[in-house]
Amino acid sequence: MEISGKTKIVGIFGYPVKHTLSPIMHNAAFTDLGIPYVYLPFEVKPENLKEAIAAIRVLRLAGINLTVPHKIEAIRYLDEITREGELIGSINTIQNKDGKLIGHNTDGKGFVASLKEDLGFNPKDKHVLLLGASGSGRAILVELLLQGAKSIVISNRTVSRGIGLVQEFSKKFSKSTLSFTPLSDLKKKVSFSQIDLLINSTSLGMKGEEFPDLPLPSLPPASIVYDIIYSPLKTKLIEAADRLGLVTKNGLGMLLHQGSLSFQIWTQRRPSLKIMQNAIIEAINKPGEG
């Protein structure tokens, strides 16, 4: 990759940020398209976020991704945010449009794009079980509601957070039915035979954990089990669903599609998902990586 005075800089703000795979997939796509961009990781402490965002204008960066812990706080320092960003209450992408900083959230859109393009699944009028109610879960929830999901059961360890989501979004999306069930009561209170899509948006599974008492055999044969974890590529949840012959998808699809959307916001070009995917898988499979 040749760097010159014409090279446009994008990157990611996070703390910590050294383990991010975003530079790998974006730089692979820039090289593939032959466009003068480079993607860099920037370790930004929370107390320095305001100055870092101001530097986007000063240094004329083309855009920035945001990761933990900056997705919510960054909104304070922007000129504008999209509807999805407002509903979710967080952003993961900043676009520098001639000095105007616009906040986007591509997480939920990336998830739904993966459903539609990778699996041929449209969430409209479908019944969904969403495990997890944190940042990623909230982004996925908002996009599923915007897409017209018929019903969504939210299940989360923190009861107050799950109930809060139901109360907040039931008012905004009256055509969809929202409810909450604690993780410990899923087997007793949720009719798994009616679920079209089961999503794990929690971190459970990254270290080989299993979901206790999750009655996967009760899911319909055509249902989808989607785990947003991508390292490892196959969690215990995915393995269990595979053994039952269910359609499964890991979080690599969501990662690629949300990254592709950010890429398009900055460059107005569509990257090769295959190139990005190969770069990420190679990095994950390297000893000590992923």
Class of domain 108-250: alpha beta
Residues of the chain with pLDDT under 50: 289-290
Identify the pLDDT of residue 288. 57
Token pair belonging to 50:
């305001």
What is the per-residue pLDDT for 290?
46
Residue 238 is predicted with a pLDDT of 97
Retrieve residue 176's tokens: 């969809």
- 87-136 pLDDT per residue, tens: 999 999 999 999 999 999 999 999 999 999 999 999 999 999 999 988 89
pLDDT of residue 137: 93
Catalytic residue numbers? Answer: 71
Fold of 8-105+253-285: Rossmann fold (3.40.50)
Tokens for 141, please give them. Answer: 């929830």
Contact 45, 13 (CB under 8 A): no
What sign has the CA pseudo-torsion 277, 226, 84, 136? negative
pLDDT at 36: 97
Domain ranges of the chain: 8-105+253-285, 108-250
